[in-house]
Structure 1
Amino acid sequence: MSQKIVGQTKTAGFQIGVRRTFPIPQEKAWELVASADGLESWLGAGISVTLQPGQKYVSTAGAGEIRIVKPLQQLRLTWQKEAWQRPSTVQVRVIAKAVDKTTISFHQENLSDGKVREEMKEHWEAVLDRIREKIESDLSNE
């Protein structure tokens, strides 16, 4: 009997998902992940891409292709870091919970192994920490 490894799927390698709810409207949450600064915060510096399906991008942290764009709701794209053998799939969701409460979710699949899964878990948690810090800074400056 084989033991299931945390984060391993039957068909998509390893996966990780992290999410947090913030005291901001959906539009602000979307801006924090989909604006030029927002994209740099989680995909790496130097990224310049139009958010349209089929658009390719390159940043200091890797390269990929935009697959799905649903403004204010969802981004789906491939992302391959330089050391990786194959691209992963990243899905970002922005889910309105109330007028001023929104969840930002990062889900990544097709990761090669548990070590890469753990690395990406730390990456996504750090991204959400930076988003929280930005929101707190903006709120204290109002």
Structure 2
Amino acid sequence: MTSGKKQVGHTTSQGWEIGIRRTFTMEAHQAWEMLFTQPVLSSWLDDKADLPFEKGSTYTNKTGITILVSSVTTGKVIRMKWQQSGDPQTSTLQIRIIPAKEKTTISFHHEWLKNEQERDLMKGYWSRVLDEISRQLNA
């Protein structure tokens, strides 16, 4: 775009990015556990994923997405490199657990996305994960 108008989701420092969050009635440790165990883990990685989610952990799912955990503060935040199948470029995913009284916010921040289309795709992807968490809590 040459109009000089800032595009939603595009930054000069991290390229294209998306941030999405939702607050649930649960404790922070429950949110952390839920994100990294089945069945919720299958909604964002796959149903075979079984890894410790420690710094250096790596996993490639059945669709070819590869993650590499770059840092972890257990129960609070995890950062990882996210690489789509056949793509030499990686993006960065940060998942945060934010406690607030009797509730907890789960936040996905995905940066260094290639373009607006990938941003829209990942916005839908992480929204579906939050929907699955909501379904699990209401089951």
Counterpart secondary structure, 1:93? strand
Q: 1:75 is aligned with what amino acid?
A: I
Is the counterpart of residue 44 in structure 1 residue 66 in structure 2?
no
The match for 1:68 is 71
CA RMSD of aligned residues (A): 1.5
Per-residue CA distance 1:87-129 (angstroms, 9 max, x = gap):
110000011101x310000000010000000000001111000
Q: What's the TM-score once normalised by structure 2's chain length?
A: 0.90
The match for 2:119 is 117
Q: Counting helix residues as a fraction of each chain, which structure ranks higher?
A: 1
Please, which runs of 5 or more residues in structure 1 have no aligned partner? 138-142
92, 97, 100: which one aligns with 1:94: 97
118, 132, 135: which one aligns with 1:133: 135
Work out the CA distance in 2 between the residues paired with 1:111 and 1:82: 14
Contact 2:21 2:107 in 1 (8 A): yes
Is the counterpart of residue 78 in structure 1 residue 90 in structure 2?
no
- Displacement after TM superposition at 1:38 (Å): 3.5
Task: Point out the more displaced range, 122-131 or 2-11.
Answer: 2-11
- Displacement after TM superposition at 1:60 (Å): 2.1
Q: What's the TM-score once normalised by structure 1's chain length?
A: 0.88
Counterpart secondary structure, 1:64? strand
Percent sequence identity is: 34
Please, which runs of 5 or more residues in structure 2 have no aligned partner? none
Per-residue CA distance 1:19-56 (angstroms, 9 max, x = gap):
00001111111111122543332123432322111122
Instruction: Return structure 1 stretches of 4+ with deviation > 6 angstroms.
Output: none
Q: 2:109 is aligned with what amino acid?
A: H
Work out the CA distance in 2 between the residues paired with 1:112 and 1:45: 27
Contact 2:40 2:132 in 1 (8 A): no
The match for 1:140 is none
Contact 1:29 1:104 in 2 (8 A): yes
